[in-house]
Each structure stands twice: as structure tokens, then as C-alpha cells.
Amino acid sequence: MRVAGPAILAEIDEALADYFGEYEVFSSEEMLYVPIEDFNIKFKGFVDAVVKVGDTYHLFDWKTCSWGWDSRSRKKAERLVTYQLTLYKHFFCQKHNIPPESVETHFALLKRTAKKNRVEIFRVTSGPKKIENALKLLYQAIYNISKKVSIKNRLSCTKPFRCKLYKTKHCT
């Protein structure tokens, strides 16, 4: 990024203008430190950029890559990758008391090795059902962590890392 970074940064404003037309920068590196409902902890995250177009807020997560994510890439739709933005939306709305229908989420790919079009922006859906699913996963994770439940690494069961408990009464 030391070499590619300045060229990529120079293209961000133009890419946003091409994508939205007129926009205003609402914030960058916005810290979210918001209480999580029903838990005595806070959600902490940093939204890379928030731009406003009319009455709509657009949350961005920058993703660096070499050439981009092609159409075969599952990252654009992978649940755990997109849930990051979905949770950002939920807690951003709470922090600013903004209705969720006034917020959209986007990835911006920052392509290190591309010679042109180094910034690619695409929208990520984050409707009510997706927010509900992301929160459910978050709540399950918090519960499991608080109860010290861990997930077994089944790759450690067999060669070359054979577990001493493999195929014994203590293997779970």
C-alpha cells in the first residue's frame, strides 16, 4: 500500500462522485461504541467512511485487494463478510437515532495492483431480516463466549496433529 496507496487515494473522490453524483462526507473512521441490547457490553467498531446523499447515509467499509473480487468471488455475498456492514448499520442507526431505511451499506474495493479503476464501489443489502440474522449471530457469539463454550477444531483430530483423545471416551 505504500506504493499503491497514493494513487488509490487520488481516485476515491472521483469514484464516489461517479457513483453518487453530489455527496457530502459525514464522517470518516467513525467509532461505534454502542450498548448491545440485553447484554452488559458495548459493540465497538469503526466505520471507514460515511457519506450523505440527500437524506440517505451511506456506510463504507474499505477492502484492500490486488485485482478486485470477480463475479465468482463469494466475498460479495458471504454472510460473515457482509454482516460486518450490517452490524455497523444497526449500531450507527442507534448511535445517531436514524431510521434504518435511511442508511445503505457499501464495500469499496481498493485495488493495489490495478493500473486504472483502482476503486470499485458496490452496495451490500442490509434490510430488516439481514439485520435480525446478524444480531442473532452476534447474540449467540456473546452467549457462547460468556459461557466459555468453544468450538472443536476437527482438523486437529486426525493426522498430522492427532489429538491424544481421538476415538476415546473423552473425544467430543
Domain map (residue ranges) of the chain: 5-156
Give residue 45's pLDDT: 97
Give residue 85's pLDDT: 96
The C-alpha atoms of residue 83 and residue 140 are separated, in whole angstroms, by 14
The C-alpha atoms of residue 146 and residue 32 are separated, in whole angstroms, by 22
- Please tell me whether residue 99 adopts helix, strand or coil conformation: coil
DSSP H helices in 21-127: 79-96
CB atoms within 10 A of CB 166: 13
Between the alpha carbon of residue 74 and those of residues 70, 86, 131, the distances in Å are: 9, 17, 20
Give residue 72's pLDDT: 46
When computed from its CA atoms, the radius of gyration of the chain, rounded to whole angstroms, is: 20
Mean pLDDT by 10 residues, the chain (172 residues): 79 94 97 94 97 98 75 62 95 98 95 83 94 96 86 67 73 66
Give residue 36's pLDDT: 96
Please tell me the pTM assigned to this model. 0.82
- The CATH code that applies to domain 5-156 is 3.90.320.10
The C-alpha atoms of residue 93 and residue 89 are separated, in whole angstroms, by 6
Give residue 161's pLDDT: 62
